[in-house]
């Protein structure tokens, strides 16, 4: 997108690196603020090292454009040295001069500081409401929104719609709640579902000295490591959209034949980004593309399946594991599970809770052949009380996260507050049910295997 086509509401001013060229605390704070603003549909200018690497002239042009656009400048600083560094001072002083000259009506500078005496602030920051940096950025964001509303610049963000649910795209966040623990449990309990499909593909692949595998949506790397690390002649590329998950995967689920990289499966630059990763690791084509419990979060699963197909080798396989709330059967819950599912599917920003049954058709529609369903049935009849608790955590406890997300975005909405409280109460009741001997639960993990040709 050309630079002139981008307009900004807020300019985030901060010192990006210290004298040793390491990222500053200021840059971390700026990143948090940027994310919060973007989630509310506020376009913020957030400079970074990559932009600076294009040269000082290009960097300054981008800054000038963003300074002209913005109605609010946030001056982030954790010490006086950073506050008065070359670019931070230039940005602040330029913005302040435009206000004084009348070129910016109803514009504001927001000092967001730490370890700095308010009385020692530069003159360009005096007289403005100052915020101290702490763990809660909400107060600063709400003040920025109030400033933008005075200029009629703020409009509530409209989220993209999922083609499968008809609601806003999935708000699932693997870094929230107990997801780290839950995904580990899920990895262990779904191994019997995945391994027959993986072994089938390995058996039917033509002999190769090296097998290349893509795990699309690897999260913390639990499944990637568990399923593929011991395949001696395999090299696996795990990709995910969460840098926090990838950092954990590299530290805790690393292996000599596995690498983890960032990739957004629905980004418009997906092809270029995946091709770059393949070139980086000398991968011509993948022999197996594996994706577990991922495509039901996507806005357009069929488009992803069509795009990824061309990266499969001629005789390559794709393996998809999906979930389907319609596959659940229980005895002794007094209808509680159906009530929880009903509350869940009515929540905005959920994933497609009935995607498992669609895998076969999605693969056929996306050009794959020889689709084979190798689904796995699991139930609680042979599990002890601790294992039953794991099943509850894996399949139900996380559902309150979606309602929590909806409530946090609109904390004064009584309906959303009541929905969250009702879900928490229902989940507490169901957790108790899972510990009762008379309660039984069963579900299906849907696993689809297909070939490119």
The DSSP output letter for 207 is: P
CB proximity list for 294: less than 8 A, separation 6 or greater: 216, 217, 265
Q: State the CB neighbour count (10 A cutoff) for residue 77.
A: 28
Is residue 54 over pLDDT 60? no
Q: Which element (helix H / strand E) includes 392? A: helix 385-395
Closest CA to 141 of 248, 214, 34, 213: 34
Is residue 217 over pLDDT 80? yes
Q: How far is Cα 313 from Cα 204, in angstroms, rounded to an integer?
A: 13
Is residue 50 over pLDDT 50? no
**Over residues 409-421, mean pLDDT:** 83
Closest CA to 87 of 11, 2, 10, 25: 11
Q: How far is Cα 37 from Cα 165, in angstroms, rounded to an integer?
A: 26
Q: Tell me what pLDDT residue 155 has.
A: 55
Q: Tell me what pLDDT residue 65 has.
A: 87
User: What is the reported pTM?
Assistant: 0.67
How confident is residue 414, by pLDDT bands cut at 50, 70 and 90?
confident
User: What are the domain boundaries of the chain?
Assistant: 3-150, 179-451
> What tokens does 315 get?
């005789």
Lowest-pLDDT range, 135-149, 153-167, 313-327, 334-348?
A: 153-167
Q: DSSP readout, 215-284? A: EET-TTSHHHHHHHTT-TTEEEEEEES-HHHHHHHHHHS-BTTEEEEE--TT-TTHHHHHHHHHHHTT-S
pLDDT tens string 32-49: 998 888 878 888 888 764
Q: Which residues pair with 272 in a beta bridge?
A: none
Q: Tell me what pLDDT residue 49 has.
A: 40
**Over residues 256-269, mean pLDDT:** 96
Share of the chain above pLDDT 70, in %: 94
Q: Tell me what pLDDT residue 48 has.
A: 66
> Phi/psi of residue 191, each to 5°?
-55, -45
Q: How far is Cα 257 from Cα 283, in angstroms, rounded to an integer?
A: 13
Q: How far out from the chain centre does Cα 431 lie?
A: 28
Q: State the CB neighbour count (10 A cutoff) for residue 42.
A: 21
Domains 3-150 and 179-451 share a fold: yes
3-class SS of residue 378: strand
Q: How far is Cα 397 from Cα 177, in angstroms, rounded to an integer?
A: 10
Q: Give the Å distances, CA to CA, from 330 to 337, 339, 440.
A: 8, 13, 5
Q: Tell me what pLDDT residue 150 has.
A: 80
pLDDT tens string 68-127: 999 999 999 999 999 999 989 999 999 999 999 999 888 999 999 998 988 889 988 988
Q: Tell me what pLDDT residue 56 has.
A: 64
**Over residues 345-352, mean pLDDT:** 88
CATH superfamily of the 179-451 domain: Vaccinia Virus protein VP39 (3.40.50.150)
3-class SS of residue 341: helix
Q: How far is Cα 353 from Cα 347, in angstroms, rounded to an integer?
A: 11
Q: How far is Cα 298 from Cα 87, in angstroms, rounded to an integer?
A: 39
Share of the chain above pLDDT 90, in %: 70
Domain 3-150 has CATH 3.30.200.20: no
CA Rg value for the chain? 25
Lowest-pLDDT range, 87-91, 151-155, 337-341, 353-357?
A: 151-155
pLDDT tens string 363-413: 999 999 999 999 999 999 999 999 999 999 999 999 999 898 888 877 777
Q: How far is Cα 352 from Cα 370, in angstroms, rounded to an integer?
A: 25
Closest CA to 132 of 255, 29, 286, 263: 29
How confident is residue 51, by pLDDT bands cut at 50, 70 and 90?
low
> What tokens does 284 get?
């011509």
**Over residues 256-261, mean pLDDT:** 97
Q: How far is Cα 278 from Cα 285, in angstroms, rounded to an integer?
A: 8
* Contact (Cβ atoms closer than 8 angstroms) between residue 130 and residue 121: yes
Q: Tell me what pLDDT residue 161 has.
A: 77
pLDDT tens string 267-308: 999 999 999 999 999 999 999 999 999 999 999 999 999 999
Q: DSSP readout, 32-82? A: HHHHHHHHTT--EE---HHHHTT-HHHHHHHHHHHHHH-SEEEEEESSHHH
* Contact (Cβ atoms closer than 8 angstroms) between residue 318 and residue 198: no
* Contact (Cβ atoms closer than 8 angstroms) between residue 433 and residue 333: yes
> Phi/psi of residue 443, each to 5°?
-155, 170
> What tokens does 426 get?
């229902």
Q: Tell me what pLDDT residue 39 has.
A: 78
Is residue 346 over pLDDT 50? yes
Average pLDDT over all residues of the chain: 90
How confident is residue 3, by pLDDT bands cut at 50, 70 and 90?
very low
Q: Which residue has better confidence, 66 or 240?
A: 240
Q: Which element (helix H / strand E) includes 213? A: strand 211-216
Q: Tell me what pLDDT residue 446 has.
A: 97
Q: How far is Cα 452 from Cα 4, in angstroms, rounded to an integer?
A: 42
């Amino acid at each position: 997108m050309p630079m002139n086509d981008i307009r900004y509401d807020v300019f985030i001013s901060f010192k990006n690196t210290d004298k040793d060229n390491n990222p500053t605390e200021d840059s971390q704070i700026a990143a948090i603020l940027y994310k919060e603003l973007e989630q509310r549909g506020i376009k913020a200018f957030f400079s970074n090292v990559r932009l600076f690497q294009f040269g000082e002239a290009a960097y300054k042009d981008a800054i000038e454009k963003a300074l002209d656009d913005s109605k609010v400048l946030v001056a982030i600083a954790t010490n006086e040295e950073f506050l008065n560094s070359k670019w931070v001072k230039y940005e602040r002083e330029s913005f302040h001069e435009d206000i004084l000259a009348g070129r910016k009506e109803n514009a504001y500078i927001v000092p967001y500081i730490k370890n700095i005496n308010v009385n020692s602030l530069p003159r360009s920051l005096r007289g403005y409401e100052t915020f101290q940096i702490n763990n809660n950025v909400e107060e600063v964001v709400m003040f920025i929104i109030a400033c933008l509303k005075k200029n009629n610049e703020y409009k509530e963000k409209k989220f993209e719609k999922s083609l499968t649910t008809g609601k806003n795209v999935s708000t699932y966040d693997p870094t929230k709640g107990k997801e780290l623990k839950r995904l580990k449990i899920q990895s262990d309990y779904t191994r019997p579902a995945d391994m027959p499909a993986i072994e089938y593909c390995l058996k039917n692949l033509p002999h190769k000295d090296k097998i290349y595998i893509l795990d699309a949506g690897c999260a913390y790397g639990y499944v990637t490591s568990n399923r593929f690390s011991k395949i001696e002649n395999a090299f696996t590329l795990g990709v995910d959209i969460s840098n926090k998950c990838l950092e954990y995967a590299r530290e805790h689920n690393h292996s000599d034949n596995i690498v983890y990289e960032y990739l957004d499966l629905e980004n418009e630059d997906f092809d270029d980004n995946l091709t770059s990763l393949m070139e980086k690791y000398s991968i011509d084509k993948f022999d197996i593309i594996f994706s577990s419990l991922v495509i039901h979060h996507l806005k357009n699963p069929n488009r992803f399946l069509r795009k990824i197909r061309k990266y499969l080798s001629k005789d390559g396989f794709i393996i998809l594991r999906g979930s389907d709330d319609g596959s659940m059967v229980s005895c002794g819950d007094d209808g509680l599970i159906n009530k929880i599912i009903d509350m869940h599917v009515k929540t905005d920003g959920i994933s497609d809770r009935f995607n498992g049954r669609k895998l076969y058709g999605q693969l056929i529609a996306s050009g794959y052949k020889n689709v084979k369903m190798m689904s796995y049935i699991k139930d609680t009849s042979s599990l002890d009380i601790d294992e039953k608790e794991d099943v509850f955590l894996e399949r139900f406890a996380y559902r309150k996260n979606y309602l929590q997300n909806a409530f946090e975005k609109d904390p004064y909405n009584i309906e959303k507050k009541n929905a969250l409280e009702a879900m928490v109460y229902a989940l507490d009741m169901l957790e108790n049910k899972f510990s009762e001997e008379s309660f039984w639960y069963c579900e299906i993990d849907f696993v689809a295997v297909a070939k490119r040709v």
